[in-house]
C-alpha cells in the first residue's frame, strides 16, 4: 500500500510505433510477465523481465485503468515502471467485435477446421487466441468500471 511519504510510481508504456502512456503517476501497477503477473508498488526492487500477454492494471488516484500488452520487456527502476511492449492497446479503444472475430479465427486454426498447420502456425494461433482473450477481458473490465 502506498503511504503518504512514498512517491507514486511513474508508468510509461511504449511500443515500437507509439507512446501509450508516459509518466502516469500510479499507486500500483500489475502486468503480465513471461513467468506470471507481477505487482509493483512504490519502492519495489529494481528488475528487468520479459513481458507476457495479458492485461495491465494500474491505479491512478481512485481510478483503475486497463490496457493489454503482448511481448516485450519491463523495467522497474526506482519509482518508475517502463513497459516496452511489442503490442499494446488501451482498453477504451478496443473493438470487441474485432477481438471476437480474431478469437474465432485462432480457435478454428487450433481445432483443425482450417488448413493443415505447421508448428509456427500453431504457435501464432495460440498467441492470437491469448491476445484476443486479453483484449476482450480488458474491454469488459473497462466498460464495467472494475
Please indicate, yes or no, whether residues 50 and 13 belong to a single structural domain of this protein: yes
Which residue among 92, 109, 133 closes a domain? 92
Rounded average pLDDT over 47-75: 94
pLDDT in tens, 88-109: 999 999 999 999 999 999 998 8
Please indicate, yes or no, whether residues 51 and 62 belong to a single structural domain of this protein: yes
- Going by pLDDT thresholds of 50, 70 and 90, the confidence category of residue 20 is very high
108 assigned to some structural domain: yes
Mean pLDDT (the chain, rounded): 89
Statement: residue 115 has pLDDT above 70:
no
pLDDT of residue 75: 97
Helix/strand/coil (H/E/C) assignment for every residue in the chain: CCCCCCCCEEEEEECCCCEEEEEEEECEEEEEECCEEEEECCCCCCEEEEECEEEEEEEECCEEEEEEEEEEEEEEECCEEEEEEEEEEEHHHCCHHHHHHHHHHHHHHHHCCCCCCCHHHHHHHHHHHHHHHHHHHHHHHHHHCC
Domain count, the chain: 2
- Asked if residue 11 lies in contact with residue 29, where contact means CB atoms within 8 angstroms, the answer is yes
Rounded average pLDDT over 33-57: 94
Please indicate, yes or no, whether residues 35 and 100 belong to a single structural domain of this protein: no
pLDDT of residue 1: 44
Please indicate, yes or no, whether residues 102 and 59 belong to a single structural domain of this protein: no
Please indicate, yes or no, whether residues 81 and 124 belong to a single structural domain of this protein: no
pTM of structure: 0.84
Residue 113 belongs to domain spanning = 95-144
Amino acid at each position: 500500500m502506498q503511504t503518504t511519504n512514498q512517491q507514486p510510481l511513474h508508468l510509461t508504456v511504449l511500443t515500437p510505433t507509439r507512446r501509450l502512456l508516459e509518466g502516469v503517476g500510479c499507486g500500483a501497477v500489475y502486468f503480465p510477465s513471461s513467468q506470471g503477473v507481477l505487482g509493483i508498488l512504490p519502492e519495489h526492487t529494481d528488475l528487468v523481465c520479459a513481458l507476457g500477454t495479458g492485461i495491465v492494471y494500474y491505479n491512478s488516484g481512485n481510478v483503475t485503468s486497463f490496457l493489454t500488452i503482448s511481448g516485450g520487456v519491463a523495467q522497474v527502476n526506482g519509482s518508475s515502471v517502463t513497459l516496452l511492449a511489442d503490442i499494446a492497446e488501451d482498453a477504451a479503444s478496443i473493438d470487441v467485435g474485432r477481438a471476437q472475430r480474431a478469437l474465432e479465427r485462432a480457435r478454428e486454426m487450433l481445432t483443425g477446421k482450417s488448413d493443415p498447420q505447421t508448428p509456427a502456425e500453431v504457435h501464432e494461433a495460440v498467441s492470437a487466441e491469448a491476445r484476443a482473450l486479453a483484449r476482450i477481458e480488458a474491454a469488459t473490465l473497462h466498460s464495467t468500471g472494475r
